Amino acid sequence: MHNVGKRWGWLGLVALFACGGPASQPAVPTGTTVQDPAGDEADAEAMAEGEEAIKTKDFVKAKAVFSAIVARKPDHPKANHYLAVALENLGDAQGAEKHYRAALAAAPSWTDSVLNLSALLIDSQRFEEAEKVLASSASRNPKDAALQLNLAYARMGNKDIEGAKTAFESALALADSPDVRLGLADLLVESGKYDEAKAHIDRAVQQAPENLEVLTMAAELYRKARLPDDCIVAYDKAIALRAVAQLFSNRGVCKQMKKDNAGAKADYKKAIETDPAYAPAHFLFGRFLLTVEKNKKAAIEAFEACEKIAPDSKCKQAAEEARR
């Protein structure tokens, strides 16, 4: 669960990268102001056109505009940064990394590129590289909450639990927001500190009571912290916002944890009814039928239904094991 912070640059846009995390509001960039290389009026017009394309999320156009600028001026920090943003949003992580690094080579103190490159590395589980990218910038900009948040995730990935906790707490002191609290809670849950984690999850839900992403992430953390009642309540709120199969099936897991087998079964069936093509619902229902109701025949049917939807999933193995 990586709610790493990202910035798109001077446009005032904020994106949060990772596993569908909630929107964050990182601090205003505190690094040295980046100056554009000397250029003509055509360069200024092209930059404005590209920035507008980024604003409107026309990343194909942005790629074309900023690629042309970088071809003329390979050391242009802003053009490289925005080209990286466009490439990343078009699914070209390798190209994005290249141009974030080019932007930093031209403007090493620019926090926006540090933030986005580190987020890209964290998402790729290259935690040591991410921490190296972040280290000097985080030291120079101790009041930048987004840098502290990414540093926390990099350290978490590197199994530096105390270092990650320190960085999360620094981020929290600078910007008390749901994404920071849920990140810290995730660390605490993984460390077995469930009571301490619960306080942060509760607060995140209070801060964003109608944010679907916050509610679903909070629900999963409650589940991991072995708090089924809180998990169910969070999923109730999420389902009230968006009644989709994934939420019904996940709530079923929490009800099953609570030993509410009738409620769990109803949720698994509701998930399948809501979206018959959602394979995990069939899998969870099959596992419920096999382990709780001891109904092997019905369980095999559920696993087979799952296998038809997702042939390469663990449903095939589950069906084979149930047949034995």
What are the residue ranges of helices labelled H in 73-126?
A: 77-89, 93-106, 111-123
Low-confidence ranges of the chain (pLDDT < 70): 1-40
Single pTM value for the model: 0.81
pLDDT for the residue numbered 180: 95
pLDDT for the residue numbered 3: 57
| Of 102, 98, 63, residue with least CA distance to 83 | 63
Name the token pair of 7: 């910035």
pLDDT for the residue numbered 42: 74
Q: Is residue 288 within 8 Å of residue 319, measured between CB atoms?
A: no
| Of 159, 151, 164, 76, residue with least CA distance to 121 | 151
User: CA-CA distance, 99 to 79, in Å (whole number)?
Assistant: 9
The single-letter DSSP state of residue 260 is -
pLDDT for the residue numbered 102: 97
What are the residue ranges of helices labelled H in the chain?
A: 41-55, 59-72, 77-89, 93-106, 111-123, 127-140, 145-157, 161-174, 178-190, 194-207, 212-224, 228-241, 245-257, 261-274, 279-291, 296-309, 315-323
Name the token pair of 215: 């509610």
φ, ψ at 91 (rounded to 5°): 90, 10
Delimit the domains of the chain by residue range: 243-324
User: CA-CA distance, 173 to 80, in Å (whole number)?
Assistant: 32
pLDDT for the residue numbered 184: 96
Name the token pair of 205: 């839900």
Q: Is residue 199 within 8 Å of residue 189, measured between CB atoms?
A: no
The half-sphere exposure of 240 on its side-chain side, counting CA atoms within 13 A, is 10
Q: Which helix (H) or strand (E) holds 15?
A: strand 14-17
Angle among Cα 81, 214, 17 to the nearest 5 degrees reads 15
- Give the 3-state secondary structure of residue 211: coil
pLDDT for the residue numbered 324: 85
With respect to CATH, is domain 243-324 assigned 1.10.760.10? Answer: no
pLDDT for the residue numbered 43: 81
Name the token pair of 123: 């998402």
User: CA-CA distance, 322 to 300, in Å (whole number)?
Assistant: 6
Name the token pair of 144: 């930048």
pLDDT for the residue numbered 39: 60
pLDDT for the residue numbered 34: 63
